[in-house]
Structure 1
Amino acid sequence: MEILTDPFEVSFVFRALLAGSFTAVLCACVGTWVVLRGLSFFGDAMSHGMLPGVAVASLLGVNLMLGAAVSAVVMSFGVVVVSRATRLSRDVSIGLQFIVMLSLGVAIVSHSGSFAVDLTSFLFGDVLGVGSTDVLTIGIAALVGIVACVVMYRPFTALTFDPRKSQTLGLRPGFAHVAMLILVALATVASFQIVGTLLVFGLLIGPPATAVLLVRGIGRVMVLAAVLGVAQVYVGLLVSWYAETAAGATITLLGGLTFLAVLAVREVVCRVHPANANDNHVQ
């Protein structure tokens, strides 16, 4: 038992566990909609698109989350405007801004005297460096995200499965879409300090995708994804402590391995019991 608890008696590791758990819960709620709506590419692009804001904030000596938030809002607004102003598909719009924002971020960071160190920190995070204020900020972000998912549950569900019916029912699909993009931005901003801009995508997608393989129902997927995410953070911190590996990368690696393991077991079960091979549609 001491092996499982000793690392968390160290204050900065315990703060990392709290911050990581809050982040996992937020990403579980928002990531469920990302997976169901097929917004994975947007989530990936958003995680990279925060880099310019984070880099500028670092150079100016202001809070990194503030810079990330500004950058995320700019990218979300840009995606909506370009998609409406042109005939280009949403993926093309996202891809173009993804390239611009990532390149701009690297260009800004390159002016720093510690380019390699700064870029590594931005891309891969520093979960063990979060302070008490960061934990509080991430906790508030998680609470806001959970409340927003509850309040917007009906519009998000209608938008995900039947956009036309959403319009007919007066659920304002356009507003719901923008609200969902804002929630994705919130989740990525809250997560980047834990796992970095490159690995946010893993925490946002991994647990919800795994949960979709195991249970039916949006609510059940969110709850299971939150449980898986928190467990992933806990085990990841333990492994990184004893194996001396990068904490953020270890956390997201566990998420990917968990998904692959569940998928493999599910395929074996479906072959042995074909009756269980029905598509796992989330309702």
Structure 2
Amino acid sequence: MGDAGLTPSMFFDAWELFRTPTLTGTVAAAMLGVLGVYVVLRRMVFLSAAISQAAGLGVALAYLGAVSFGLAGVWASPTLGAAVLTLGATALIAADRSATSARRDALIGVVYLVGSAGMLAVGTRIVQELQDIDALLFGSAVAVSDADFHLVSATACAVLAVHALGWRGFSAASFDPDGAQVRGLPVRALEATLFITLALAVSVSTRVLGALPTFAFSVLPSLAAVRLAPNLPVALLLGGLFGALSGGVGYLVAFLYEIPVGAAQTLVAAALVASAELAVRAARLLPRQGLSSSKR
């Protein structure tokens, strides 16, 4: 295990300390794993990276407002700052209706770079909140409160309920918009709802867990799910399951090997992607091996 000889039993012995952050990471990752299926299938992987950086900048600006300008109450809320900038960035990107993806890709790049640079620049102005900025970037093992857990849980319940009820509409609007319009579905409203739920999920997760794990949760579990699933409903279920595993097991790995939580969660999610790829390749080889054996 880690250099200090840490074991899983020691993690669970300290469960009272790690319970809230572990469960929070698990719930957030499950939510993002479901939404990430649309991100992956629509080839907008870097959208989640860009809006998570925008959310991070919103949190940093909220800290700056409180420290440097004396803002208080809701106006200094990191959650509000993350939500405002995330929704704004998402609206900017989603509003682009160019015939090619080049302009949208450029907008995503601009949002990502401005968010990243802005978050680091603002961080230099709030030295006393440096630990919070570090947690914002990479996640924290214990800096998650019960209020954060309740916020993430409420957001996940609302977002997943919307997607459980409307997945057929989201699927049609995402992958066959012309056919959906012919059938009388409100394609623009469905697309707007999809982007809004993604923005809310990313903003809340970035506020509580950090930008790195949020980006990882919205891409890697979904990649593994899409690789294995035969259809969209199964992919959505597997995305949520793999996300939950990444979030929960990632905390355990971070404890055992004494590495940043966000990095551990990302590595666990990446291991799931690698495992899914190996499983698919192995499944393709087995019939060939069986045929070769029968010929002998």
Cα deviation for residue 116 of structure 1 reads 5.7
Q: Which moved more, 1:69-78 or 1:188-197?
A: 188-197
- CA contact 1:31–1:208 (8 Å) conserved in 2: yes
Cα deviation for residue 191 of structure 1 reads 1.8
Q: Which moved more, 1:58-67 or 1:216-225?
A: 58-67
Residues 72-110 of structure 1 deviation map (CA, whole Å, 9 limit, x = unaligned)? 0111122234x1489863212222222223323322222
- CA contact 1:12–1:130 (8 Å) conserved in 2: no
C-alpha spacing 1:85/1:210, structure 2 compared with 1 (3 Å): closer
C-alpha spacing 1:246/1:194, structure 2 compared with 1 (3 Å): farther
| 1:273 pairs with 2:287 | yes
Where does residue 40 of structure 1 map in the other structure?
45
Q: Equivalences for 1:236-255 in 2 at 5 Å?
A: 236-255=250-269
Q: Equivalences for 1:193-204 in 2 at 5 Å?
A: 193-204=207-218
Where does residue 12 of structure 1 map in the other structure?
17
TM-score (norm 1): 0.87
Residues 138-192 of structure 1 deviation map (CA, whole Å, 9 limit, x = unaligned)? 0000001111112321221102221110111121222222211112112212222
Alignment partners' CA distance in 1, 2:154 and 2:108: 28
Residues 45-93 of structure 1 deviation map (CA, whole Å, 9 limit, x = unaligned)? 1111212211111223433222111110111122234x14898632122
RMSD: 2.6
TM-score (norm 2): 0.83
Cα deviation for residue 117 of structure 1 reads 4.2
- CA contact 1:29–1:145 (8 Å) conserved in 2: no
The sequence identity of aligned pairs, in percent, is 25
Q: Equivalences for 1:209-220 in 2 at 5 Å?
A: 209-220=223-234
- CA contact 1:12–1:131 (8 Å) conserved in 2: no
C-alpha spacing 1:74/1:264, structure 2 compared with 1 (3 Å): same
- CA contact 1:127–1:193 (8 Å) conserved in 2: no
Unaligned runs of 5+ in 1: 276-283
Bigger CA radius of gyration: 2
Letter in 2 for 1:232: S
Q: Greater RCO between the two (CA within 8 Å, min separation 6)?
A: 2
Length, aligned pairs only: 274
- CA contact 1:50–1:189 (8 Å) conserved in 2: yes
Letter in 2 for 1:91: D
- CA contact 1:127–1:194 (8 Å) conserved in 2: no
Where does residue 130 of structure 1 map in the other structure?
144
Unaligned runs of 5+ in 2: 1-6, 67-75, 290-296
Cα deviation for residue 268 of structure 1 reads 3.2
C-alpha spacing 1:117/1:15, structure 2 compared with 1 (3 Å): closer
Where does residue 103 of structure 2 map in the other structure?
89
Where does residue 57 of structure 1 map in the other structure?
62
- CA contact 2:25–2:247 (8 Å) conserved in 1: yes
Cα deviation for residue 118 of structure 1 reads 4.7
Residues 194-228 of structure 1 deviation map (CA, whole Å, 9 limit, x = unaligned)? 54113311111111111112222222222222222
- CA contact 1:17–1:234 (8 Å) conserved in 2: yes
Letter in 2 for 1:162: D
Letter in 1 for 2:172: A
